[in-house]
């Protein structure tokens, strides 16, 4: 069920009509949440509910076993992690793996060729397996107590606003909220409506109007066009992917507000970041936090890392590539998480390189000291991010390199075929850029923005945005992050 579909509108209307009654009693609340979430997920393909159940029960029982059998807790944690990673590998990475094996051993087009198996990728599998794993790891680390009621666990794991595309929420954050009735105030409901409308607007008006133009350019048979054209295309994709994904997160957070729950912020204007470190603190915050807490920090604190990598290095070597293998490992895995293809690994590697280069040189701080330094930092930062997005969106690594070559092939006064870009897409892109510029220039912090008359205009603004979502929507497409 897509958030911007009529089916979901009906589903949400029925859910929120019944919710005030159902949330009052514990039993009915849990049951209602799980049933609604399963209906939401099963609407697409009901068979995959069994996978969700299997993955969920594995971690539910692993959590209990870790607490009950203290000496064997490592074993149960390993079972949980292997189970989840196994499900991910089977459904998401199997064809990628066998494709590489075939290429490596020269089996392609021979009788030894493995696969392809063409298994359907269950929507949201990367999100819910990560969320499920975080639960058992937190139980293992004794950050949380395992829940003894499977309904509680599945309400946490499958809560429909965040089930298929995040944010990835920790059990320590969500489970306590689910355990009691959360009455909603008028301010919360208003906040929820505002978030949902903004999210929908970002998705259906901005991202969906950009989608056909971006897709046509990047999926074309050959790379045609000048450097300015491809910079505009890279900007369009950057805006599209941001509005698509942050739009989903906004809608999820808004729905949660209406239910009386609080989901953490997942995107905080990443394109106005002042450094790469800052960027990763603003982009897909819940996933970045997951990788940081469950991969980066454990790697950094591991005795193995201390003994064999950190201690043998001298001071200046610790800031070189040798000193940060954990950063590279984390970002390469993050790249692979986004998709089963080498281009995603390359994207992760490029991001790791950016981060590492920044750590070694501290260039944003140095550049900021110059006149107009803040703007220069943003321009350099965004140019690097745009290049990384080109790798991300191109159909192959070879194509990405061709486009990157064109990006830096500056020829003055050659703008071809920039005038063929759809005007609607240009307007959508400009609206999004202006919105980010508004926050970059901190106009939201001006005094007049907080005057009473402005608050009174809010209903008209939100009302107009709702009508805008209806009439200005682009050709419908699924959320980009569903494929992850």
Which residues contribute to the site for another protein (CB under 8 A)? 6-7, 186, 189-190, 193, 221, 423-424, 452, 455-456, 458-460, 462-464, 466-467, 470-474
When the beta carbons of 43 and 107 are compared against another protein, the nearer one is 43
Q: Rounded to whole angstroms, what are the CA distances from 114 to 98, 103, 109, 122?
A: 6, 10, 9, 22
When the beta carbons of 142 and 458 are compared against another protein, the nearer one is 458
189/63 Cα distance (integer angstroms): 35
When the beta carbons of 186 and 444 are compared against another protein, the nearer one is 186
Matching residue, tokens 């070879």: 398
When the beta carbons of 448 and 471 are compared against another protein, the nearer one is 471
When the beta carbons of 151 and 426 are compared against another protein, the nearer one is 426
| Residue 201: closest CA among 483, 430, 443, 431 | 431
**How far apart are CB 1 and another protein at their closest, in Å?**
10
When the beta carbons of 151 and 431 are compared against another protein, the nearer one is 431
When the beta carbons of 139 and 425 are compared against another protein, the nearer one is 425
Q: Rounded to whole angstroms, what are the CA distances from 164 to 52, 56, 144?
A: 11, 14, 24
Contact present, 215 and 244 (Cβ < 8 Å): no
**How far apart are CB 473 and another protein at their closest, in Å?**
5
As given in the structure block, the two tokens for residue 433 are: 């850029």
Q: Rounded to whole angstroms, what are the CA distances from 61 to 52, 56, 67, 224, 362?
A: 14, 9, 10, 55, 46
231/248 Cα distance (integer angstroms): 26
**How far apart are CB 375 and another protein at their closest, in Å?**
31
CA 414 to chain centre: 36
Q: Rounded to whole angstroms, what are the CA distances from 398 to 100, 223, 316, 354?
A: 17, 11, 36, 21
**How far apart are CB 313 and another protein at their closest, in Å?**
50
**Local structure of 236: helix, strand or coil:** helix
Q: How many CB atoms lie within 10 A of CB 224?
A: 12
Angle (CA) 279-283-286 rounded to 5° is 130
**How far apart are CB 189 and another protein at their closest, in Å?**
6
**How far apart are CB 466 and another protein at their closest, in Å?**
4
When the beta carbons of 370 and 455 are compared against another protein, the nearer one is 455
Contact present, 144 and 175 (Cβ < 8 Å): yes
**How far apart are CB 470 and another protein at their closest, in Å?**
5
Contact present, 234 and 390 (Cβ < 8 Å): yes
Using a 10 angstrom Cβ sphere, with 0-12 exposed, 13-18 middle and 19 or more buried, the burial of residue 462 is middle
When the beta carbons of 198 and 324 are compared against another protein, the nearer one is 198
When the beta carbons of 97 and 466 are compared against another protein, the nearer one is 466
Contact present, 473 and 208 (Cβ < 8 Å): yes
When the beta carbons of 44 and 305 are compared against another protein, the nearer one is 44
**How far apart are CB 462 and another protein at their closest, in Å?**
5
**How far apart are CB 449 and another protein at their closest, in Å?**
16
Residue-by-residue DSSP string for 68-99: H-GGGHHHHHHHHHHHHHHHHIIIIIHHHHHH
338/115 Cα distance (integer angstroms): 22
Q: Could you report how far apart the first and last alpha carbons of the chain are, in Å? A: 16
Residue 426: CA atoms inside 13 Å, Cβ hemisphere, count? Answer: 9
When the beta carbons of 413 and 460 are compared against another protein, the nearer one is 460
**How far apart are CB 460 and another protein at their closest, in Å?**
6
**How far apart are CB 417 and another protein at their closest, in Å?**
12
**How far apart are CB 455 and another protein at their closest, in Å?**
6
């Amino acid at each position: 069920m897509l958030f911007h579909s009529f089916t979901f509108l009906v589903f949400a209307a029925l859910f929120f009509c019944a919710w005030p009654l159902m949330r009052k009693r514990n039993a009915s609340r849990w049951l209602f949440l799980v049933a609604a979430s399963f209906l939401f997920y099963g609407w697409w393909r009901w068979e995959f509910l069994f996978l969700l159940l299997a993955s969920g029960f594995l971690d539910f029982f692993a959590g209990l076993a870790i607490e009950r059998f203290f000496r064997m807790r490592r074993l149960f944690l390993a079972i949980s992690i292997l189970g989840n990673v196994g499900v991910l590998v089977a459904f998401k990475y199997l064809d990628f793996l066998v494709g590489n094996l075939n290429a490596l051993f020269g089996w392609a087009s021979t009788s030894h060729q493995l696969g392809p198996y063409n298994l359907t990728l269950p929507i949201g599998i990367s999100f819910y397996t990560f969320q499920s794993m975080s639960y058992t790891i937190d139980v293992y680390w004794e950050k949380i107590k395992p829940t003894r009621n499977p309904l509680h666990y599945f309400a946490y794991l499958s809560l429909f606003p965040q089930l298929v595309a995040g944010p990835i929420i920790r059990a320590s954050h969500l489970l306590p909220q689910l355990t009691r009735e959360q009455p909603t105030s008028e301010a919360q409901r208003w906040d929820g409506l505002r978030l949902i409308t903004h999210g929908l607007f970002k998705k259906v008006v901005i991202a969906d109007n950009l989608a056909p133009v971006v897709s046509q350019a990047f999926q074309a048979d050959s790379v045609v066009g000048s450097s300015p054209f491809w910079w505009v295309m890279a900007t369009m994709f950057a805006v599209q992917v941001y509005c698509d994904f942050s739009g989903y997160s906004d809608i999820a957070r808004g729905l949660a507000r209406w239910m009386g729950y609080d989901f953490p912020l997942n995107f905080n204007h990443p394109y106005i970041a002042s450094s790469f470190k800052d960027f990763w603190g603003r982009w897909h915050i819940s996933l970045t936090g997951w990788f940081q807490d469950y991969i980066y920090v454990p790697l950094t604190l591991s005795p193995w890392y201390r003994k064999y990598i950190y201690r043998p290095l001298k001071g200046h070597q610790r800031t070189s590539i040798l000193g940060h293998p954990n950063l590279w490992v984390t970002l390469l895995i993050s790249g692979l998480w986004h998709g089963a293809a080498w281009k995603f690994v390359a994207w992760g590697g490029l991001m790791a390189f950016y981060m590492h280069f920044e750590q070694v040189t501290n260039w944003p701080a140095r550049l900021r000291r110059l006149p107009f330094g803040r703007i220069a930092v943003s321009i350099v930062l965004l140019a690097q991010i745009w290049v990384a997005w080109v790798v991300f969106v191109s159909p192959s690594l070879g194509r990405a390199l061709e486009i990157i070559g064109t990006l830096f092939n500056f020829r003055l006064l050659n703008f071809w075929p920039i005038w063929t870009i759809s005007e609607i897409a240009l307007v959508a892109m400009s609206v999004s850029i202006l919105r980010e510029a508004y926050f970059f220039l901190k106009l939201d912090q001006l005094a007049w923005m907080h005057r009473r008359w402005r608050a009174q205009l809010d209903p008209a603004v939100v009302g107009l945005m709702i009508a805008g979502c209806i009439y200005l929507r682009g050709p419908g497409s699924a959320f980009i992050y569903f494929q992850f």
